Amino acid sequence: MTKSPAKPQTSISPAAWGLMGLLTLLWGCSFPATRTALAEVGVMTTVAFRVTGGALALWAIILFRGLPVRGGWRAMLPFSIMGFLNNILPWSLIVWGQSHIESGLAAILNASTAIFSIALASLLFADERLTARKTFGVLLGVSGVIVVMGLGALTTLDLTSLAQLAILGASLSYACAGSFARRFLVGHPPEVAAAGMLTASALVMIPTAVGFEGFPHLDYLPRTWVALLYLGIAGSALAFMCYYRALKLVGAGNVSLVTLMIAPVSVVLGALIFGESLSLSDYAGFLLLATGLLVIDGRLERLFRQEPTEKTA
């Protein structure tokens, strides 16, 4: 007897909303934390601190909870590939990009991750082919990216334009990581998978950072240490745990809404902490991105097609 297909998750409980809100704050605060760290720490060293801190925190949790670690050294190859796609490349691009553009703008461009993920998954997985609705949503999202960057970014490649392209490159890398994880990282507890990829990333980033930027002097200002510890423990270890728990509770479609909620948090914090200000085109582009993701998710369609309640006699 075959099981009937699971119904799509259309509602989110208050507890799940709270978890998604916490994840939004954790990742939303990572953008201003990164800008704070960059005042004293190099790009590669910042990434090295983040992956190392996250790995150490997660392994401590794994040991405390006695979670099984399967695969041995054979698991290091997929963990290493995942670490490159989900940590080393995107975080390096984002950190470098944030050294030239506002943290709020970086968060808005990072919201394109969901658009890239949907488009890439449609090419790789038969059960995620693009429908007419999803295609329209992707086009809306791409239009939002173009509005944020401006057509001039395509003709004048200055540092600002390159920084924006770096953030988009990070979003594409995240999308590749999601597809890779779906195919090759099944069977591992989420905390173990996250710890494995962060450990593999640390083994690469520590010597790379030392080779290009030298040994860190460690006499940073207190706010820099707070930012670095935040990026490793809260922005990586705790955020990954919240992400996987939310994924189990509400499904991938609903969790993707977090990418929309991160940008407003980063924009507000960037304005309050650093006095950042964004243009109207940045906000308009984000609105298009958000609308595109809601169209892809089907949330807008369900809203407009909601049947009116029947009148009682």
pLDDT tens digits for 126-171?
Answer: 777 777 888 888 888 888 888 888 766 656 668 888 999 999 999 9
Could you tell me the residue ranges of all domains in the chain?
23-301
**Is residue 4 predicted with pLDDT exceeding 60?**
no
Residue 107's pLDDT is 92
For the CA atoms of 215, 160, 111, 147, the dihedral, rounded to the nearest 10 degrees, stands at: 180
Per-residue pLDDT of 43-63, as tens digits, reads 999 999 999 999 999 999 999
DSSP letter at 3 equals: P
Higher pLDDT, 96 or 296: 96
List % helix, strand, coil for the chain (3-state, nearest 5).
80, 0, 20
pLDDT bracket for residue 301 (50, 70, 90): low
Higher pLDDT, 291 or 128: 291
| Size (the chain), residues | 313
In order of 14, 45, 205, 208, 220, the CA distances from 49 in angstroms are 34, 6, 9, 12, 13
- Give the Cβ contact number of residue 129 at 10 Å: 10
Structure tokens at 3: 């099981």
pLDDT bracket for residue 198 (50, 70, 90): very high
**Is residue 185 predicted with pLDDT exceeding 70?**
no
pLDDT bracket for residue 179 (50, 70, 90): confident
Structure tokens at 166: 């770096």
pLDDT bracket for residue 68 (50, 70, 90): confident
**Is residue 294 predicted with pLDDT exceeding 70?**
yes
Report the percentage of the chain scoring pLDDT > 90.
43
**Is residue 9 predicted with pLDDT exceeding 50?**
no
CB 240 within 8 A of CB 58: yes
Structure tokens at 298: 């089907």
Residue 119's pLDDT is 83
CB 62 within 8 A of CB 191: yes
pLDDT (mean) for 79-94: 94
CA distance 310 to 148: 44
CB 297 within 8 A of CB 140: no
CB 216 within 8 A of CB 224: no
Mean pLDDT of the residues in the chain = 84
Residue 121's pLDDT is 80
- For the whole prediction, is pTM greater than 0.75? yes
Window from 2-6, 108-112, 260-264, 295-299 with minimum mean pLDDT? 2-6
- The highest-confidence range among 17-31, 166-180, 221-235, by mean pLDDT, is 221-235
Structure tokens at 112: 């394109």
Residue 2's pLDDT is 40
Higher pLDDT, 135 or 312: 135
